[in-house]
């Protein structure tokens, strides 16, 4: 096993590359097969078929020679309002606005973290001479990055299921490097994963509008707005449309209410600052987007994952929900209804059905 100084060297390098946190842990104990199996058996993964990949329960086939995991975290908390802040919704211009999740305001984190992890591996190649292997993952690999971060002593997996660090909070992206290097754990002597600091708090469970946090630490993803607005390619179930509120891409509510995020440090990293129009975007603008414009406008943005169809579907739901709650001026009301009628008449059955639903909400509210 390499000496502690070598693990310290890696952690220092990670900080130099801009990561806020870095920890190292052995590959053993990175999965929680029993709970994962129960979670899947309950159907909580919904249509996320990739969650059934057997490597999530046993990561050995990913890199049989793997001995250690380096976990890195990057803060994405920019100095902007939170989704539960009513003032953000009633902008001075009184336009109807939707909410895009904080994680998606800037550049795609897969790319940002992916590059940084590759730079870290390149630095390690020059430092650790000899033959050794590595795999880097940001989000898309079969590894539970939150479990890895917890195991590396960087924080805990909380009741809202997010990974929280005591000093930074939960606005953190995670990335991992699996390596055949046998590194000393950064929290050595290893005495178990980081302590859970949720205590008696239940704020996230109480605040979740769709009841997705079915019990502390357990999410039924089928009910989570992040799943409904990003991962789901089909119709948003009727009973979950109203609770989806003004969220058009992802959801931040269970993190916005979390006390550990109250003093979360702000990042000035240019790649995470909100792109124009993405902080509480005008719904009229979203509804008017043409499919051809979508790929151009959202190049390099996480919003591409929802695809044009998904984003328009989500915008219809948000408009329908806001129709009831806002004093929209007559002109805007007419404009929105006209746009919804166009969409309801479009050849796309998914969009047409959601637009008709939104129109019915307008009619119900006069």
Q: Give the residue, chosen from 70, 194, 221, 306, that forms a contact with ligand B12 under the rule CB under 6 A.
A: 221
Q: Which stretch binds ligand B12 (CB under 6 A): 19-27, 127-135, 215-223, 345-353?
A: 215-223
Q: Give the residue, chosen from 105, 156, 173, 260, that forms a contact with ligand B12 under the rule CB under 6 A.
A: 173
Q: Which residues are catalytic?
A: 139
Q: Rule CB under 6 A: is residue 156 a binding residue for ligand B12?
A: no
Q: Rule CB under 6 A: is residue 146 a binding residue for ligand B12?
A: yes
Q: Which one, 163 or 298, has the nearer CB to ligand B12?
A: 163
Q: What is the DSSP string of 231-288?
A: I--SPPPHHHHHHHTTEEE---HHHHT-GGGTTPPPP--GGGSPPTTTSS-BHHHHHH
Kindly tell me the burial class for residue 16, based on how many C-beta atoms sit within 10 Å of its own C-beta (0-12, 13-18, 19 or more): exposed
Q: Give the residue, chosen from 6, 20, 108, 252, that forms a contact with ligand B12 under the rule CB under 6 A.
A: 252
- For residue 215, the minimal CB distance to ligand B12 (Å) is 7
What angle is formed at CA 190 by the lines to CA 202 and CA 29, rounded to 5 degrees?
70
- For residue 208, the minimal CB distance to ligand SF4 (Å) is 3
Token pair for 49 = 């078929």
- For residue 153, the minimal CB distance to ligand B12 (Å) is 15
Q: Which one, 245 or 344, has the nearer CB to ligand B12?
A: 245
Q: What is the DSSP string of 121-175?
A: HHHHHHHS-S---EEEESSSSSS-HHHHHHHTTS-EE-TTS-EEBTTTBS-EEEE
Sign of the CA dihedral running 274, 165, 182, 28: negative
Q: From the DSSP assignment, how many helices (H) and strands (E) are in the chain?
A: 14, 10
Return the one option of ligand B12, ligand SF4, none that residue 143 interacts with (CB less than 5 to 8 A, by type): ligand B12
Q: Which one, 62 or 352, has the nearer CB to ligand B12?
A: 62
Q: Which stretch binds ligand B12 (CB under 6 A): 141-149, 259-267, 275-283, 329-337?
A: 141-149
| Residue carrying the six token digits 């240019």 | 270
Residues between 100 and 129 with contacts to ligand B12, criterion CB under 6 A: 101, 103
Return the one option of ligand B12, ligand SF4, none that residue 232 interacts with (CB less than 5 to 8 A, by type): none
């Amino acid at each position: 096993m390499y000496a502690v100084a070598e693990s310290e060297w890696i952690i220092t390098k990670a900080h130099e590359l801009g990561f806020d946190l870095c920890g190292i842990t052995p590959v053993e104990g990175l999965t929680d097969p029993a709970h994962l199996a129960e979670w899947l058996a309950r159907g909580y993964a919904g249509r996320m078929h990739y969650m059934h990949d057997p490597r999530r329960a046993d990561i050995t086939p990913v890199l049989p020679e793997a001995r250690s995991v380096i976990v890195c975290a990057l803060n994405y908390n920019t100095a902007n309002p939170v989704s539960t802040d009513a003032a953000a919704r009633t902008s001075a211009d009184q336009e109807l606005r939707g909410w895009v999740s904080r994680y998606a305001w800037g550049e795609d984190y897969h790319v940002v973290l992916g590059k940084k992890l590759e730079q870290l591996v390149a630095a390690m190649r020059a430092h650790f001479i000899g033959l050794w292997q590595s795999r880097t993952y940001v989000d898309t690999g079969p590894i539970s990055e939150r479990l890895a971060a917890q195991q590396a002593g960087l924080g805990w997996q909380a009741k809202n299921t997010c990974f929280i660090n005591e000093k930074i909070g939960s606005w953190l992206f995670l990335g991992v490097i699996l390596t055949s290097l046998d590194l000393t754990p950064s929290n050595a002597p290893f005495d178990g994963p980081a302590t859970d600091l949720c205590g008696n708090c239940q704020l996230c469970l109480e605040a979740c509008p769709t009841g997705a946090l079915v019990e502390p630490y357990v999410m039924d993803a089928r009910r989570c707005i992040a799943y409904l607005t990003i991962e789901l390619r089909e119709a948003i179930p009727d009973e979950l449309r109203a609770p989806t509120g003004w969220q058009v891409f992802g959801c931040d509510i269970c993190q916005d209410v979390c006390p550990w995020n109250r003093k979360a440090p702000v990042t000035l990293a240019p790649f995470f600052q909100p792109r124009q129009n993405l902080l509480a975007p005008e719904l009229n603008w979203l509804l008017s987007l043409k499919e051809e414009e979508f790929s151009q406008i959202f190049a390099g943005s996480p919003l591409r994952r929802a695809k044009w169809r998904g984003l328009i579907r989500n915008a219809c739901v948000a408009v329908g929900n806001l129709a009831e709650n806002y004093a929209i001026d007559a002109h805007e009301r007419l404009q929105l209804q006209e746009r919804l009628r166009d969409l309801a008449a479009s050849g796309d059955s998914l969009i047409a059905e959601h637009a008709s639903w939104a129109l019915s909400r307008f009619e119900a509210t006069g």
